[in-house]
Structure 1
Amino acid sequence: MEQKLVFHPLGDQAVLVSFGNSISQELSRAVYSLYHALRKNADPSWLDIIPAYASVTVVFEARQLATQSTSPYEAQVKKIRTVAELATEIQGKEQRKISIPVCYHPDFAFDSTAICKRMKLSEAELVDLHTEKSYFVYMIGFLPGFAYMGSVDPRIASPRLDKPRTLVPKGSVGIAGFQTGIYPFDSPGGWNIIGRTPINMFDLKNEEPVLLQPGDEVHFYAIDINTFNEMQQQQPVSVQS
């Protein structure tokens, strides 16, 4: 692996492997190269391996390493470095391209009016700006199936709400900063909600419960509320790829 790795202890039972402090597709691919290599060559002492935008965290069981002469942290860094040398950049893997329908009807777009007022846009322009480009899936987090995607057009980039909602409906499509994402379940949340999709982001009945995966390219397309209701009644709905 060509990227420089920087190691940091997280408490006494975790190692943070940092690739930097920026967000880019290049770093994301490097993160998941290491993540998959660690999964493939997992040590018995590892309890969890957690990828993020520009880092991978390895949680380990320190008691399994108590008899070693080096500290548990140093022992883990050595193991991770060894695996990192085996990791190769994720290249040649065909990037999945997935199209997801979104209804931007005012009943679903709780924050569109505020965004449009702040950015001096019409609601039609907001929809056009959100649907005219594709988004890279950087990571899955917060909730099972919640994909962090970017980057939205600067004209619709919006800070998180000052006061998060106690309930954001399942399927809500939101914006936070330059990120966009879809809530897979009813949950609290502080993103700006601009629409809703009838597609399930997480379904335990599927062989792979999580619909979107890091590295996917996602495109949103607008549907009206009648189409939304029809598609929701047809669950499960197949996405376009």
Structure 2
Amino acid sequence: MFWRYEVTGVDTITLHFGEKIDVALVSTINRAAAVLHNTLGERLLDAVPSYTTLLLRYDLLQDDLASLVADLKPALDSLSTAGNESTKPPEVVDVPVFYDPRVGPDLENIANRANISVEEAIKRHTGRTYHVFAIGFAPGFAYLGQVADELAAPRLSTPRKKVPAGTLGIADTQTAIYPISSPGGWNLIGRTPLTLFDPDRARPSLLEAGQQVRFRAISESEYTALGGKLDDLPWETAAANAKGDQK
């Protein structure tokens, strides 16, 4: 199995497993993270998977770079020898989403770009299984791929100052849910009532690299019954202010 390392900090190194985003690498990288946790134990403080890399943070009080790298090779070689063994299928997380312009102000634009109806855009977005490639940008922010080609859209030229937690968006060929309220430049198409990140949970992030996600369209009544909010939409306030300025 190909891999190389790069020193990326005083107590971190990054393992590179390829140069191209590939669903097959997701499994390889997550298997590598599990093996290294088991092999290195407390020497390994953190392992952060991404599209083609795995960042390792080690304990400088227990380890040094040379010793760490020396122990990486046999551990990762064990993956190669076990590469053809059956593995546990990835966990599939069901995510209910209320697709509507009120909570997804770019939904109609996404449909218009593809020359399809809003209903068809929703059908195509919910019609496939997405892979969690990486977690980043904000705690619990999962980069999911890949959307149907006709739904792909570039990031907004001017990011919004506030995107409420739970809002679902598209950027290029990826889709993602904002886990916390934050600025954002993705095309917003809906919202989930689920809490994506809660530091008080045993597993704070609902989504983790290596999982799969299926989106399920729900009605407004289902959305609110599950705890979804409709009273914190900053773009509605902006639109109302703009109309007031024109009077």
TM range, smaller chain: 0.7 to 0.9
* Separation in 2, partners of 1:144, 1:11: 21
Unaligned runs of 5+ in 2: 229-247
Out of 213, 218, 237, the residue aligned to residue 213 of structure 2 is: 218
Post-superposition offset of 1:144: 2.3
* Separation in 2, partners of 1:216, 1:44: 25
Out of 29, 32, 54, the residue aligned to residue 56 of structure 1 is: 54
* Percent identical: 33
Superposed CA RMSD: 2.3
Post-superposition offset of 1:64: 5.8
For residues 16-165 of structure 1, the aligned pairs below 5 Å read: 16-42=14-40, 46-60=44-58, 73-87=65-79, 88-89=82-83, 91-165=86-160
TM-score when scaled to structure 2?
0.81
Comparing both structures, which one devotes a greater share of its residues to helix?
Answer: 2
What's the counterpart of residue 68 of structure 1?
none
* Separation in 1, partners of 2:86, 2:169: 30
Between 1:120-129 and 1:194-203, the stretch displaced more is: 120-129
CA contact (8 A) 2:100 2:107 kept: no
* Separation in 1, partners of 2:86, 2:144: 20
CA contact (8 A) 1:101 1:223 kept: yes
**1:75-122 superposed Cα distances (whole Å, 9 cap, x missing partner):** 432232232133455843133223211111111112123323333232
Out of 2, 5, 8, the residue aligned to residue 10 of structure 1 is: 8
Runs of 4+ in 1 over 6 A off after TM superposition: none
TM-score when scaled to structure 1?
0.83
Post-superposition offset of 1:139: 2.4
Amino acid at match of 2:69: V
Unaligned runs of 5+ in 1: 66-71, 234-241
Q: How many matched pairs?
A: 225
* Separation in 2, partners of 1:73, 1:163: 43
The answer to whether 1:206 aligns with 2:204 is no
**1:112-153 superposed Cα distances (whole Å, 9 cap, x missing partner):** 233233332322221111011111222222222222211110
* Separation in 2, partners of 1:144, 1:91: 31
The secondary structure found in structure 2 opposite 1:10 is strand
Amino acid at match of 2:72: I
